[in-house]
Homo-oligomer: A and B are copies of this chain.
Amino acid sequence: MTTDTSPSRQGPPRTPTLEMVAAEAGVSRATVSRVVNDSPRVTEHVVQAVNEAIARLNYVPNRAARSLASRRTQVIALVVPETTAKLFSDPFFATVVQGIAMALSETEYTLNMLISSELRSEKTRRYLLGGNADGAIVVSHHSGDHDFSHLGATLPIVFGGRPLIQNDEDSYFVDVDNVAGAATATEHLLDRGARHVATIAGPQDMPPGFDRLAGWSRALQSRGLDDSLVEVGDFTPESGAEAMRRLLERGRPIDGLFTANDQMAAGAYSVIRDHGLRIPDDIMVAGYDNNYFGSTASPSLTTINQPSHELGAKMAEVLVRLIENKPTPLVTLMPTELIVRASTDRRPTA
């Protein structure tokens, strides 16, 4: 076992070149190139001959050469801020990435995943600006990571999750319709007979936190109901418990609760029970996210499901359209789905 450190450099070309195919098929390199890129104006007969030669030689085009000549890379960069990368084990995020990767695997594009730390974000910027990708998808939980938005002018970029501040420079993004989702959950509580619906909101400096509170408010206001029973948490079960405590201490009647995510609902559950109240009989509860916390809670939690896989697929789709100069709306909102479970299992009251 030697300690040869130098990169292994094979001698002769390992893979057949376009030129060899041309020779094999008895045509020019230009023609082979046309066939490979299925250009319209090539005789059917020639196409066949070339394809046979390709098959015989087991030819596969060299990406580097192709992209050098065509000034197109066929690469899509997936930029993941390091803070978000840490949350990779979050099923939501992982599934979004899965959606992106699977959608792209259907296309000619290749997915390049970059972790961009605060420190080395310059490296990422250079990579993107250096013409190493045809476009980029930026996913992040903290939408402060929109440092990249100004790159949108130079390179097609699609963001996952809307920016907190709708910036002047119009950036493309696709997101879940948090407002509508929250409103749906709240309306469900109302339909099932709740009249005093409280909410445990998420951080108001995060779009999902902000939007879900807005959706809850909207649903109540549109029925002329009170929307002042609000407490804010930070998406953790503990904060959910705290918030629930504060809510109950207000001493006002509560018969419905919408929490901005399932974790906080789980936290609220324990407090509700500690107060001798029953779910759903005394208080119906609805969460948001449809994750493990909700499905294993007892009683199982009614919640809002986010189409995370589809979200990723959509991001890929939008970016590809952008790259190919096809008309595309600036913002794409994905619909959510209400999952009804035991925590709201009550017949509508009269």
Contact = CB atoms under 8 A, between A and B. Distances in A.
A53 B71 CA distance: 24
A274 to B, nearest CB: 17
A102 B85 contact: yes
B15 A130 contact: yes
B64 A68 contact: yes
Give the interface centre of A71, A73, A80, A82 by most chain B CB atoms within 10 Å.
A71
A325 to B, nearest CB: 5
Interface string A312-342: 0000000000011111000000000000000
Interface string A88-132: 110100110110011001000011111111001000001101111
B102 A115 contact: yes
A34 interface: no
Nearest to A87: B98
Interface residues of A, number: 60
A323 B113 contact: no
Contacts of A222: none
A166 interface: no
A61 interface: yes
Give the interface centre of A4, A129, A325 by most chain B CB atoms within 10 Å.
A325
Given A7-B325, A62-B68, A97 B101 contact: no
Given A111-B112, A112-B112, 19 more contacts: A7-B72, A9-B71, A14-B154, A60-B130, A62-B68, A62-B131, A64-B67, A64-B132, A78-B113, A85-B98, A86-B98, A88-B97, A89-B95, A105-B116, A105-B120, A110-B112, A110-B127, A112-B113, A113-B113
Interface of A: 1-9, 14-15, 60-65, 67-68, 71-73, 78, 80, 82, 85-86, 88-89, 91, 94-95, 97-98, 101-102, 105, 110-117, 120, 126-127, 129-132, 154, 292, 296, 323-327
